[in-house]
C-alpha cells in the first residue's frame, strides 16, 4: 500500500507541469459524462464497482470479466441542438483477457456557411468523435486497466486528429465493502492540428475516488476528487460584482473558510446510490464546482444536483438521469444496457 501511495504522489507531481486553466485545452468533450448513471452521480465516479459497463469510460480499471458480452447505448440532447451519444461493448477472451470497444460523439448541429455579405453558400455539421479500445487485468484485490483513444474533430475547414490514453487502477475489499479507484486521463497529443504550427494540449486529469457500501442497508456513498493536477479552478471575472446585501452576494456555504475552502470543494463530487436487490437503483449526486460556476447568486435552486434511476431486468436495463446545470437548462440522459448472452438464450 505504501508503494501505491508513493506512485500516486509522484504521478501527481509529474503531471502537474502540464496543467493549465480552463479554455486552454482541446478535445474537452472527452470529460463530459457519457452515461446516465455517471451523470446521476454528479458527473464523476471511478470507484463504484458493481459490474456496470458504462463506468469503463470513466476508469478503464472498472472493466471486469463479468461484463462479457454486454452492450451499453447512451444518448442525451446535451444543450440546445447539441447531441451526445456513447456506445460500448465488452468481450472476455479466455487467454487474452477482457476487452471493450466504444465510440463517443458530440454533434454540435448544422451551421450555415456564409460569405462576408451574409449570403448562404451551403451548410455543414460540426462534431467530435472518440473511438476507444480498453483492456483490464485483475491482480488479487486490484484491477488495472487502460484505454487507447483515437480522436477526430471536424469543424468544417478546421479539422484535427489526435490520440490519448487513460490509465486506471481499482481496489476492492469485499469483506469491508470498500472500494477505491485512481485514473490518469487524456495523456496524449494532437497528430493533426487545427492550425498549422499551433499545437494544443489535451485536458489531462488525475482523479481519485472511494466508495463505501453498508452491510445492513442497500446504500453506498462515493467521494471523487477531480482535477488534481491543477489546484486553482476558480475563474474571477472582472465583469462580475458581488454585493453584500444577502440577496446578491454569491451563494457559497464555505464563505467562512474563504478562498481556500471554496477551491478545495471544487475538486470534490459526492455521490450516493441505493440499490434494491440489483433490480432497481436510485443514484444522487452533488457537484459543488458546477454549482459555484453556473448557479445565479439569487436563484441557485438545484443547480449542481443530479439524480437518476434504473430498472434492471434479466435481459436488459433502462436508465434515466437528470442533471441541473443552470436555471435556464438541464441535461437528461437515457441509457440502455443489454446482456447479449441472455438475449440469445432460448426459453
Query: Which of the four pLDDT bands, split at 50, 70 and 90, describes residue 322?
Result: very high
Beta bridge partners of 332: 322
At residue 191, the pLDDT reads 94
Say how far apart CA 51 and CA 64 lie, in whole Å. Answer: 7
At residue 7, the pLDDT reads 37
The rounded radius of gyration (Å) of the Cα atoms in the chain is 21
Query: Which of the four pLDDT bands, split at 50, 70 and 90, describes residue 260?
Result: confident
Dihedral Cα 166, 285, 179, 94, nearest 10 deg = -50
Q: What is the mean pLDDT of the chain?
A: 86
Say how far apart CA 142 and CA 172 lie, in whole Å. Answer: 7
At residue 344, the pLDDT reads 72
At residue 253, the pLDDT reads 55
At residue 346, the pLDDT reads 59
Say how far apart CA 221 and CA 284 lie, in whole Å. Answer: 10
Of 91, 94, 220, 224, the C-alpha closest to 170 is 224
For residues 85-96, average pLDDT: 94
Say how far apart CA 303 and CA 290 lie, in whole Å. Answer: 7
For residues 335-339, average pLDDT: 94
**Which residues make Cβ contacts (< 8 Å) with residue 170, sequence separation at least 6?**
46, 47, 49, 59, 61, 62, 142, 143, 145, 179, 180, 181, 182
At residue 10, the pLDDT reads 36
Of 46, 48, 72, the C-alpha closest to 334 is 72
Query: Which of the four pLDDT bands, split at 50, 70 and 90, describes residue 141?
Result: very high
Query: Which of the four pLDDT bands, split at 50, 70 and 90, describes residue 23?
Result: low
Tens digits of residue pLDDT in 178-230: 999 999 999 999 999 998 888 889 999 999 999 999 988 999 999 999 999 88
Query: Which of the four pLDDT bands, split at 50, 70 and 90, describes residue 3?
Result: very low
Residue of 128 and 8 predicted with greater confidence: 128
At residue 195, the pLDDT reads 87
Residue 226 is given by DSSP the state -
CA distances in angstroms from 204 to 18, 104, 127, listed in the order given: 7, 18, 21
Characterize 169-187 residue by residue with b for buried, 16 or more Cβ atoms within 10 angstroms of its Cβ, and e for exposed: bbbbeeeeeebbbbbbbbb
Lowest mean pLDDT among 220-234, 235-249, 304-318, 332-346: 235-249
The pTM score is 0.85
269 pLDDT above the threshold of 80? yes
Number of Cα atoms under 13 Å in the Cβ half of residue 92:
14
For residues 305-318, average pLDDT: 93
74 pLDDT above the threshold of 80? yes
Output phi, psi for 15, to 5 deg.
-80, -15
Location of C-alpha cell 481496489: 171
Residues in the chain: 347
Of 302, 307, 310, 299, the C-alpha closest to 335 is 310
17 pLDDT above the threshold of 80? no
Location of C-alpha cell 445492513: 216
Say how far apart CA 207 and CA 225 lie, in whole Å. Answer: 5
Helix H or strand E segment including 280: strand 280-287
For residues 241-255, average pLDDT: 48
231 pLDDT above the threshold of 90? no
Lowest mean pLDDT among 15-24, 83-92, 128-137, 223-232: 15-24
At residue 9, the pLDDT reads 36
State how beta strands 178-192 and 158-173 pair. antiparallel
Most confident of 77-81, 304-308, 322-326, 340-344: 304-308
Tens digits of residue pLDDT in 103-121: 999 999 988 898 888 889 8
- The percentage of the chain sitting over the pLDDT mark of 90, rounded to a whole number, equals 61
Most confident of 10-24, 160-174, 291-305: 160-174
At residue 230, the pLDDT reads 87
Say how far apart CA 271 and CA 43 lie, in whole Å. Answer: 9
For residues 304-321, average pLDDT: 94
Say how far apart CA 107 and CA 77 lie, in whole Å. Answer: 10
Of 317, 266, 306, 251, the C-alpha closest to 284 is 306
Say how far apart CA 284 and CA 289 lie, in whole Å. Answer: 16
Amino acid at each position: 500500500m505504501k508503494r501505491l501511495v508513493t506512485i500516486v504522489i509522484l504521478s501527481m507531481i509529474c503531471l502537474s507541469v502540464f496543467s493549465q486553466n480552463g479554455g486552454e485545452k482541446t478535445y474537452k468533450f472527452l470529460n463530459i459524462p457519457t452515461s446516465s448513471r455517471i451523470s446521476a452521480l454528479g458527473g464523476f465516479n471511478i470507484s463504484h464497482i458493481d459490474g456496470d459497463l458504462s463506468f469503463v469510460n470513466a476508469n478503464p480499471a472498472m472493466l471486469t470479466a463479468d461484463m462479457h458480452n454486454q452492450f451499453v447505448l447512451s444518448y442525451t440532447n446535451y444543450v440546445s441542438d447539441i447531441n451526445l451519444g456513447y456506445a460500448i461493448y465488452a468481450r472476455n477472451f479466455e487467454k487474452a483477457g477482457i476487452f471493450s470497444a466504444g465510440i463517443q460523439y458530440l454533434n454540435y448541429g448544422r451551421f450555415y456557411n456564409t460569405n462576408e455579405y451574409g449570403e448562404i453558400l451551403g451548410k455543414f455539421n460540426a462534431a467530435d468523435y472518440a473511438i476507444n479500445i480498453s483492456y483490464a487485468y485483475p491482480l488479487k484485490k486490484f484491477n488495472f486497466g487502460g484505454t487507447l483513444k483515437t480522436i477526430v474533430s471536424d469543424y468544417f475547414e478546421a479539422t484535427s486528429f489526435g490520440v490519448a490514453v487513460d490509465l486506471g487502477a481499482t481496489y476492492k475489499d469485499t469483506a469491508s465493502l470498500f472500494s477505491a479507484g485512481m485514473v490518469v486521463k487524456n495523456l496524449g497529443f494532437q497528430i493533426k492540428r487545427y492550425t498549422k504550427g499551433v499545437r494544443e494540449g489535451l485536458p489531462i486529469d488525475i482523479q481519485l475516488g472511494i466508495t463505501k457500501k453498508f452491510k445492513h442497508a442497500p446504500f453506498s456513498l462515493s467521494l471523487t476528487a477531480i482535477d488534481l493536477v491543477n489546484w486553482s479552478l476558480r475563474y474571477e471575472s472582472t465583469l462580475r460584482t458581488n454585493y453584500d446585501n444577502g440577496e446578491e452576494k454569491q451563494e457559497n456555504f464555505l464563505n467562512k473558510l474563504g478562498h481556500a475552502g471554496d477551491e478545495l470543494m471544487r475538486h470534490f463530487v459526492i455521490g450516493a446510490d441505493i440499490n434494491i436487490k440489483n433490480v432497481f437503483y436510485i443514484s444522487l449526486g452533488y457537484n459543488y464546482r458546477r454549482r459555484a460556476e453556473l448557479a445565479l447568486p439569487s436563484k441557485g435552486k438545484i443547480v449542481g444536483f443530479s439524480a437518476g434511476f434504473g430498472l434492471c431486468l434479466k435481459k436488459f436495463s433502462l436508465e434515466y438521469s437528470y442533471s441541473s446545470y443552470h436555471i435556464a437548462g438541464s441535461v437528461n440522459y437515457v441509457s440502455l444496457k443489454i446482456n447479449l448472452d441472455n438475449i440469445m438464450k432460448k426459453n
